[in-house]
A and B are shown apart, each in its own frame.
Chain A
Amino acid sequence: MGKLERINRDFKVNRNFHQAKWDEPIIFELHKNGERGIVAPKADEEIERTVGDGISKIPQGMLRDEAPNLPEITQARVVRHYTRLSQMTLGADVNMEIGQGTCTVKYSPKVNEKLARLPEMTEIHPLQDESTVQGILEIMHKTDLFLREISGMDRFSFQPSGGSQAIMAMAAIARAYHESRGEGDIRDEIITTIYSHPSDAAAPAVMGYKIIYINPDENGYPDLEAFKAAASERTAAFFIANPEDTGVYNTRVQEFTETMKEVGALSCYDQANANGLLGITRAKEAGFDMSFFNLHKTFSTPHGCGGPATGALGVLDHLVKFLPGPLIDFDGEKYFQNHDIVGKTDSIGKVRMFNGVAPVVLKAYSWIMSMGAEGLYEVAKVAVLNNNYMFNKLMKLDVVDAPYIRGKQRVEQVRYTIEKLFNDTGITTEDVQRRMMDFGMHYWASHHPYYVAEPMTLEPTESPSKEDIDEYVETLKHIFNEAYENPDLIKSAPHQSTCHQLKEESLDNPAEWAITWRSYLKKTIV
Chain B
Amino acid sequence: MKLKGFKSHPYIPNSVTDVQNEMLKEIGLADLEELHSEIPEEIKLKKNMDLPKSIVSEYELERHIKEIIKKNKTCEDNINFLGGGCWQHHVPAICDEINSRGEFLTAYGGEPYNDLGRFQALFEYQSLVAELVDMDVVNVPTMDGAQAAATALRMAGRITGRTEVLIPALMDRDKFKIVNNYCKSALKLIEVDYDKKTGQLDLEDLKRKANENTAAVFFENPSFMGFIEEGGQEISDIAHEAGALSVVCVDPSSLGIIKPPSHYGADIVAGELQPLGMHMNYGGGQAGFTATRDEEKFVMEFPSRLFGITSTIENGEYGFGDVAYDRTSFGHHRHEGKEYVGTQTALWGITAGVYLALMGPVGMFELGQTIMQNVQYAIAKIDEIDDVKASAFDSTSFKEFVVDFNKTGRTVEEINGKLMEKGIFGGKDLSKDFPQMGQAALYCVTEIHTKSDIDKLADALKACL
Q: Which of A41, A86, A94 lies in contact with B370, CB distance below 8 A?
A: A41
Alpha-carbon separation in the docked complex, A385 to B182 (Å): 41
Q: Which of A19, A47, A113, A372 lies in contact with B100, CB distance below 8 A?
A: A113
- Say whether B205 faces chain A, with CB atoms less than 8 Å apart: no
- Say whether B350 faces chain A, with CB atoms less than 8 Å apart: yes
- Say whether B163 faces chain A, with CB atoms less than 8 Å apart: no
Cβ-defined contact, B280 with A122, below 8 A: yes
* Cβ-closest chain B residue relative to A37: B358
Cβ-defined contact, A125 with B280, below 8 A: yes
Q: Which of B20, B49, B365, B417 lies in contact with A279, CB distance below 8 A?
A: B49
Cβ-defined contact, B108 with A305, below 8 A: yes
- Say whether B435 faces chain A, with CB atoms less than 8 Å apart: no
Number of A-B contacts defined by CB within 8 Å: 733
Contacts of B230 in A (CB 8 A): 59-62
Contacts of A68 in B (CB 8 A): 131-132, 134, 255-256, 260, 361, 364
Stretch of B113-121, B208-216, B400-408 at the chain-chain interface:
B113-121
Cβ-defined contact, A503 with B74, below 8 A: no
With contacts A164-B340, A304-B104, A498-B117 taken as known, whether A129 is within 8 angstroms of B6 at the C-beta atoms is no
Alpha-carbon separation in the docked complex, A437 to B111 (Å): 9
Alpha-carbon separation in the docked complex, A408 to B51 (Å): 31
* Cβ-closest chain A residue relative to B302: A515
* Cβ-closest chain A residue relative to B32: A381
Q: Which of A369, A374, A497, A514 lies in contact with B61, CB distance below 8 A?
A: A369
Q: Which of B42, B75, B147, B357 lies in contact with A37, CB distance below 8 A?
A: B357
Alpha-carbon separation in the docked complex, A472 to B339 (Å): 36
Cβ-defined contact, A111 with B61, below 8 A: yes
Name the residue among B38, B80, B312 with the largest chain A CB count within 10 angstroms: B38
25 contacts between A and B (CB under 8 A): A35-B360, A40-B366, A53-B373, A54-B371, A67-B365, A68-B256, A92-B108, A93-B103, A108-B105, A123-B74, A129-B416, A134-B72, A303-B106, A305-B105, A308-B285, A352-B147, A354-B85, A375-B12, A382-B12, A462-B12, A463-B12, A503-B310, A515-B136, A516-B130, A516-B136
| Residues from 298 to 328 in A contacting B, C-beta threshold 8 Å | 302-309, 324
Excluding A105-B106, A372-B53, 18 further A-B contacts by CB distance (< 8 Å) are: A27-B124, A70-B361, A81-B357, A82-B98, A107-B11, A134-B71, A175-B185, A352-B144, A352-B146, A353-B144, A374-B6, A377-B6, A466-B23, A499-B314, A501-B312, A507-B321, A515-B306, A520-B309
- Say whether B369 faces chain A, with CB atoms less than 8 Å apart: yes
Cβ-defined contact, B294 with A519, below 8 A: yes
Alpha-carbon separation in the docked complex, A507 to B326 (Å): 11
CB distance from A194 to the nearest CB of B (A): 9
- Say whether A203 faces chain B, with CB atoms less than 8 Å apart: yes
CB distance from B108 to the nearest CB of A (A): 4
Cβ-defined contact, B20 with A100, below 8 A: no
Stretch of A225-233, A343-351, A416-424 at the chain-chain interface:
A343-351
| Residues from 50 to 68 in A contacting B, C-beta threshold 8 Å | 50-55, 57-65, 67-68
Cβ-defined contact, A499 with B35, below 8 A: no
- Say whether A85 faces chain B, with CB atoms less than 8 Å apart: yes
8 cross-chain pairs, A with B, having the tightest CB-CB distances, nearest first: A164-B342, A208-B185, A372-B54, A354-B283, A349-B177, A126-B283, A37-B358, A202-B329
Interface residues on chain A, size class: 35 or more
Contacts of A172 in B (CB 8 A): 181
| Residues from 132 to 166 in A contacting B, C-beta threshold 8 Å | 132-136, 138-139, 146, 149-150, 161-165
Alpha-carbon separation in the docked complex, A139 to B70 (Å): 12
With contacts A135-B68, A466-B23 taken as known, whether A377 is within 8 angstroms of B5 at the C-beta atoms is yes
Cβ-defined contact, A348 with B342, below 8 A: no
| Residues from 388 to 439 in B contacting A, C-beta threshold 8 Å | 395-396, 416-417, 420, 425, 428
With contacts A54-B373, A119-B74, A302-B105 taken as known, whether A27 is within 8 angstroms of B353 at the C-beta atoms is yes
- Say whether B287 faces chain A, with CB atoms less than 8 Å apart: yes
Cβ-defined contact, A82 with B363, below 8 A: no
Contacts of A304 in B (CB 8 A): 99, 104-107, 346-347
- Say whether B159 faces chain A, with CB atoms less than 8 Å apart: no
Alpha-carbon separation in the docked complex, A518 to B124 (Å): 10
CB distance from B369 to the nearest CB of A (A): 5
